[in-house]
């Protein structure tokens, strides 16, 4: 079962993504901000990280800067799932190691599942 | 009747049938001319500047009767400030140098009130060239000056209001941006939960339930689309859009747009014909934004064409422009609706508009983007026959 880290500060949204991911047999860990996400990453290796950008305490960019790229994590796919319009921040995220940027309001649960399938196959 | 009149017993009226006026009669006529004019003060000064004649206009402007002013120095008409500076004497000196002087300034009436005068002083010479006096002609321009001053003030107020409006406009764009970002979150959440229900994750659904959810989902999608449009428009209105221009074959770009929209057209059984110039239609364009503009126009073409209709897209070059035309054989646009087309939230009503959806911002934004590229969008249409949009983009940066 693929292991996914879900990083999203908005509780209702986080919950909805968790419901979707678990419904299609993914193991899901949740984090409400970059700091919690880093803690999760210390103890686990994930197949895929869904990363929001605008979060309190440590935002998505902050997380990417601190995320340890090593032999174990090099297979981890990072998808930025943000409601920001494409621009400087999203480009920066891609430069810092995110593989893809997707805008939340453009992605339905069905489309999210399809997206994950593609990304996990690419890993 | 008051004022200067002609004594017809001793002075004849000029008549080409009779003999010419004699010298005395001519003089009487000139006296009548000068003394009668009410709109100009016309009077004589002697070489020292004392008033030696008067007329109706002078009395009207200055308030003095002839017997009160004749013999007085003309500096009595000037405000204290000008008298101190020696303005009256300076003016006469200028006339002695140049023969005449024209001036505008405040003058004083007998009652101390002032009026804005346009004054011409002309030197009068005898047959040996010696200065013998001055002719003073004055116009009361107080009304005109009042109007000019009012105009200047109105202008100042207008400029100030313009600045305030620009400030307001900018804060409007910032507000729209902020509000739209905030609205995105709940709309996204609704999208997720509707999707979860539709996918059966919350439990099996009857067909009726799915249909109900579909309706909610569609409306929410429209909300999301409007929010995205608002954000785009606020950004472009605030002048915050920097085009990311790259040299591109616009025909290729259009073709790839159309490929993505093929499904939509197929759903409505609409045929799509694409033709392009053989050589590359190169231009410096912001690929993502131009795609969006083209998509918008093709979407509109599909929306406003009945099922089974035809859409033709053509890309060609003409001198130093790339032309993209998107033509449909749909419902067309009334001539009276054409000017509204590119305005914000423009809504045009025809038999297909009820189900058309959309935010009414797409064309406004597309027009702005094309304009930013240095191009323009034109439209021709005939009700019942169809509509053609024509985009022109310069091939080279201007």
Q: What residues in A contact B198, CB-CB < 8 Å?
A: 110
| A5-16: pLDDT as tens digits | 999 999 999 999
Which candidate from A86, A105, A110 shows the least CB-CB separation from B184?
A105
**ipTM, two decimals:** 0.93
Percent of chain A with pLDDT over 70: 99
Cβ distance of B199 and A85 shorter than 8 Å = no
Total-model pTM: 0.64
Tallying the residues shown for chain A, one arrives at: 123
| Residue A115 touches chain B, beta carbons under 8 Å | no
Instruction: Please say if the pLDDT value at position B213 is more than 90.
Output: yes
* pLDDT range class, residue A96, cuts 50, 70, 90: very high
Cα(B89)–Cα(B74) distance, integer angstroms: 10
Cα(B221)–Cα(B300) distance, integer angstroms: 17
Cα(B131)–Cα(A5) distance, integer angstroms: 106
Q: How many CA atoms does the CB half-sphere of A17 hold within 13 Å? A: 28
What's the pLDDT score for residue B107?
A: 94
Cα(B43)–Cα(B121) distance, integer angstroms: 10
| Residue B218 touches chain A, beta carbons under 8 Å | no
Q: What residues in B contact A19, CB-CB < 8 Å?
A: 196, 201
Closest CA to A106 of B227, B176, B230, B240: B227
| Residue B227 touches chain A, beta carbons under 8 Å | yes
* pLDDT range class, residue B48, cuts 50, 70, 90: very high
Cα R_g (chain B), whole angstroms: 40
| Pair A32, B211: CB distance under 8 Å | no
- For residue B205, the distance in angstroms to the closest alpha carbon of chain A comes to 16
Which residues, listed in sequence order, are joined to residue B312 by a DSSP beta bridge?
B273, B327
- For residue B375, the distance in angstroms to the closest alpha carbon of chain A comes to 24
- For residue B272, the distance in angstroms to the closest alpha carbon of chain A comes to 26
| Residue A25 touches chain B, beta carbons under 8 Å | no
Which candidate from B195, B201, B228 shows the least CB-CB separation from A108?
B195
Instruction: Please say if the pLDDT value at position B197 is more than 90.
Output: yes
| B286-336: pLDDT as tens digits | 998 999 999 999 999 999 999 999 999 999 999 899 999 999 999 999 999
What's the pLDDT score for residue B210?
A: 95
Summary mean pLDDT of chain B: 91
- For residue A6, the distance in angstroms to the closest alpha carbon of chain B comes to 15
CB A73: neighbour CB atoms within 10 A?
15
| Residue A19 touches chain B, beta carbons under 8 Å | yes
| Residue B95 touches chain A, beta carbons under 8 Å | no
State mean pLDDT over B148-162.
95
What's the pLDDT score for residue B398?
A: 60
Which candidate from B181, B196, B224 shows the least CB-CB separation from A20?
B196
- For residue B388, the distance in angstroms to the closest alpha carbon of chain A comes to 30
Residue whose token pair is 């440590």: A58
* The two structure tokens encoding residue B313: 């897209």
What's the pLDDT score for residue B345?
A: 82
| Pair B187, A105: CB distance under 8 Å | yes
Instruction: Please say if the pLDDT value at position B160 is more than 70.
Output: yes
| B330-386: pLDDT as tens digits | 999 999 988 888 988 877 777 777 767 777 888 999 999 999 999 999 999 999 999
| Residue B179 touches chain A, beta carbons under 8 Å | no
DSSP secondary structure string for all residues of A37-102 = HHHHHHH---SEEEE-S--SSS-HHHHHHHS---TTTTT-EEEEEESSPSSHHHHHHHHTT--EEE
* The two structure tokens encoding residue B73: 């120095």
Cβ distance of B181 and A83 shorter than 8 Å = yes
| Residue B195 touches chain A, beta carbons under 8 Å | yes
| Residue A6 touches chain B, beta carbons under 8 Å | no
Cα(B196)–Cα(B208) distance, integer angstroms: 16
Q: Contacts for A60-65 with beta carbons within 8 Å, 24 or more apart? A: A60/A7, A60/A34, A60/A93, A61/A89, A61/A92, A61/A93, A61/A96, A62/A34, A63/A7, A63/A34, A63/A37, A63/A38, A64/A93, A64/A96, A64/A97, A64/A98, A65/A96
CB B94: neighbour CB atoms within 10 A?
16
| B74-119: pLDDT as tens digits | 999 999 999 999 999 999 999 999 999 999 999 999 999 999 999 9
Closest CA to B298 of B202, B380, B366: B366
Cα(B49)–Cα(B43) distance, integer angstroms: 11
């Amino acid at each position: 079962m693929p292991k996914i880290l879900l990083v999203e500060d908005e509780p209702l949204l986080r919950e909805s993504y968790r419901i979707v991911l678990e419904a299609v047999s993914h193991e899901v860990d949740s984090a409400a901000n970059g700091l919690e996400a880093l803690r999760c990453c210390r103890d686990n290796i994930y197949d895929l990280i869904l990363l929001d950008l605008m979060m309190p305490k440590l935002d998505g960019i902050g997380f990417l800067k601190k995320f340890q790229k090593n032999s174990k994590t090099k297979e981890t796919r990072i998808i930025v799932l943000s409601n920001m319009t494409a621009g400087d921040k999203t480009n920066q995220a891609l430069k810092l190691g995110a593989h893809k940027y997707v805008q939340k309001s453009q992605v339905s649960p069905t489309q999210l599942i399809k997206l994950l399938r593609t990304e996990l196959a690419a890993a | 009747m008051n004022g200067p009149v002609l004594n017809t017993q001793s002075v004849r009226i000029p008549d080409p049938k009779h003999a010419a006026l004699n010298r005395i009669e001519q003089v009487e006529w000139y006296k009548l001319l000068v003394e009668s004019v009410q709109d100009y003060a016309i009077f004589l000064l002697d070489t020292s500047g004392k008033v030696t004649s008067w007329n109706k206009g002078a009395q009207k402007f200055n308030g003095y009767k002839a017997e009160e002013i004749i013999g007085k120095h003309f500096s009595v008409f000037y405000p204290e400030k000008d008298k101190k500076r020696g303005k009256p004497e300076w003016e006469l000196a200028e006339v002695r140098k140049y023969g005449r002087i024209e001036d505008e300034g405040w003058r004083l009436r007998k009652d101390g009130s002032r009026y804005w005068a346009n004054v011409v002083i002309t030197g009068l010479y005898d047959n040996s060239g010696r200065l013998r006096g001055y002719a003073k002609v004055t116009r009361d321009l107080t009304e005109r000056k009042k109007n000019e001053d009012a105009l200047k003030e109105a202008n100042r107020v207008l400029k100030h209001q313009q600045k305030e409006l620009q400030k307001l406009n900018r804060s409007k764009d910032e507000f729209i941006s902020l509000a739209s970002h905030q609205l995105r979150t709940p709309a996204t959440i609704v999208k997720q939960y509707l999707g979860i229900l539709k996918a059966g994750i919350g439990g099996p659904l009857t067909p009726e339930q799915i249909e109900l959810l579909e309706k909610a989902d569609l409306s929410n999608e429209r909300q999301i689309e409007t929010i995205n449009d608002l954000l785009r428009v606020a950004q472009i209105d605030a002048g915050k859009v920097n085009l990311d221009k790259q040299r591109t074959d616009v025909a290729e770009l259009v073709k790839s747009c159309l490929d993505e929209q093929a499904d939509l057209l197929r759903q409505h059984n609409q045929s799509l014909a694409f033709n392009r110039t053989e050589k590359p239609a190169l231009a410096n364009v912001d690929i993502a934004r131009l795609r969006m503009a083209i998509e918008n126009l093709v979407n509109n073409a599909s929306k406003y064409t009945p099922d089974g209709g035809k859409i033709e897209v053509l890309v060609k070059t003409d001198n130093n422009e790339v032309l993209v035309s998107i033509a449909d054989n749909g419902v067309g646009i009334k001539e009276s609706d054409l000017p509204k087309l590119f305005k914000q939230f423009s809504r045009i009503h025809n038999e297909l508009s009820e189900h058309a959806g959309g935010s009414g911002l797409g064309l406004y934004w597309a027009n702005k983007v094309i304009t930013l590229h240095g191009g323009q969008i034109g439209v021709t249409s005939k009700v019942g026959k169809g509509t053609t949009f024509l985009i022109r983009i310069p091939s080279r940066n201007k």
